[in-house]
A and B are shown apart, each in its own frame.
Chain A
Amino acid sequence: MRQLIRVLIALLGAVGISIIVKSKEAGNVPLQSGGWRDLETD
């Protein structure tokens, strides 16, 4: 029983960490770059 609880806690922890990592990734590029224009090759 104790082993089962440990496994469940470990699984919950892994899910929690991946949610935190994903949410940080989703919000790490809030800026717009700009400053690019078509290259003249003629």
Chain B
Amino acid sequence: MIGILGLGAVGSQLLQRLNTSLPQIPLFVSGPDRKKVSHLMTRKNSIIFCDSNEKLEDQNIQILVLSCSSGHHLQTAQRAIKNGISVISTSNKLSDVVGLLKLEDEAKENGAVIVAGAAFSPGLTCALVDFASKELDSVDEIHVAKDGTGGPACAKQHHRAMKRPSIEWCDGQWVRRPGGSGRELVWFPEPIAGADCYRAALPDPILLKQLFPLASRITARVSASRQDRFTSWLPMLTPPHRDGGVGAVRVEIRGRLENHSVTKVIGAVSSPSTATAIVTEVLCEMFVKKELTSQTGGVASVCDSTDFLQKIKKKGIRVVEFDGIPEEKS
């Protein structure tokens, strides 16, 4: 059985996707808003609904997808792992990701898999970085950037991340810098194109450091408007949107190939909530087929990134590479 905790923008899409992609697996769903579940769901008999997560241990769940608001993932994951339930967390909150990685020993004892930061960024970005690094002899620098937000919980987390210090790997040590600093014009794939990106409390460097311990610099930035920066120290003044629409991620990897410096730039375009639902769906499919390799880590730590990206592309996420040659207009 697959459990889904949280029926927000990601959880409701994931439920619909798993309903069709894994029809033989029963689903356990917990979330306050049951109205979000489509009336067109074909196999309602095999979907068990629960209003709170009290009954988590009583169910025969093998893998639990945490798609609830960031900040609530760690405690639930601890409970699940104690009962031998594997966990996929979509949280992009720094403390959630760090806490989940610290549960590695407990997960090993209980035979559970933990996938931390399984979202658009981190998540898909980790797989993109790992894929690009396969063409290089060594990786020196990794720079990740993200544009766009998913549902209301994601928008709130974006707002919180902007006011908190970022954490970056710089020449062999972790460096904290103020959130909202370090403006950089990042060129995303179309239709996003150029956007100013800033430092924020993002967990990507923590997950990528696991994969690339010899890299000298690992940074992450997020796009923000002037209004986002000016109001980041205040509570959110307007209620967040239901879904932020199309977003993009871009990873830049600098390394060496046959003693030459090489830079690779890869990106992806999708709605962040849909991309996160697809990432978690693919991970669930891989778990069911026993294709998840490692025990605890980010997306690229637990599966083969090439295989993962092939599956992601088939489900509709546009993955692109920057070659610097503009298309000729006829």
A31 at interface, CB cutoff 8 A = yes
- State in angstroms the CA–CA spacing of A28 and B225 once bound together: 11
The majority secondary structure among interface residues of chain A is loop
Which residue of A21, A33, A35, A41 is within 8 Å of B309 (Cβ)?
A41
Which residue of B189, B193, B225, B322 is within 8 Å of A25 (Cβ)?
B225
A41 adjacent to B193 (CB under 8 Å): no
Please name all residues of chain A whose beta carbon is closer than 8 Å to the beta carbon of B195 when the two chains form the complex: 29
Query: Scoring B residues 249 to 273 as 1 if CB is less than 8 Å from chain A, else 0, what string do you get?
Result: 0000000000000000011000000
Shortest C-beta distance, B326 to chain A (Å), equals 3
CB nearest neighbor in B for A30: B194
B267 adjacent to A31 (CB under 8 Å): no
Interface size in chain A (residues, C-beta < 8 A): 16
Which residue of B194, B310, B318 is within 8 Å of A33 (Cβ)?
B194
- State in angstroms the CA–CA spacing of A29 and B326 once bound together: 17
Please name all residues of chain A whose beta carbon is closer than 8 Å to the beta carbon of B322 when the two chains form the complex: 35-36
Please name all residues of chain A whose beta carbon is closer than 8 Å to the beta carbon of B225 when the two chains form the complex: 25
A3 at interface, CB cutoff 8 A = no
Query: Scoring B residues 215 to 230 as 1 if CB is less than 8 Å from chain A, else 0, what string do you get?
Result: 0000000000111000
Interface residues of A in 21-42 (CB under 8 A from B): 21, 25, 28-29, 31-42
- State in angstroms the CA–CA spacing of A21 and B266 once bound together: 32
Please name all residues of chain A whose beta carbon is closer than 8 Å to the beta carbon of B267 when the two chains form the complex: 36
Known: A21-B226, A25-B225, A42-B310. A37 touches B194 (CB 8 A): no
- State in angstroms the CA–CA spacing of A21 and B309 once bound together: 40
- State in angstroms the CA–CA spacing of A31 and B192 once bound together: 11
- State in angstroms the CA–CA spacing of A36 and B325 once bound together: 8
B189 adjacent to A31 (CB under 8 Å): no
B327 adjacent to A34 (CB under 8 Å): yes
B319 at interface, CB cutoff 8 A = yes
B320 adjacent to A33 (CB under 8 Å): no
A39 adjacent to B321 (CB under 8 Å): yes
- State in angstroms the CA–CA spacing of A35 and B324 once bound together: 4
Q: Which 8 residue pairs of A and B lie closest in terms of their CB atoms, listed nearest first? A: A34-B326, A36-B320, A29-B194, A39-B321, A39-B319, A36-B189, A33-B193, A35-B324
Interface residues, chain A, CB within 8 Å of chain B? 21, 25, 28-29, 31-42
A-B contact pairs, 25 of them (CB 8 A): A21-B226, A25-B225, A25-B226, A28-B196, A31-B193, A31-B194, A32-B190, A32-B193, A33-B189, A34-B326, A35-B322, A35-B324, A35-B325, A36-B267, A36-B321, A36-B322, A38-B320, A38-B321, A39-B266, A39-B313, A39-B319, A39-B320, A41-B306, A41-B309, A42-B310
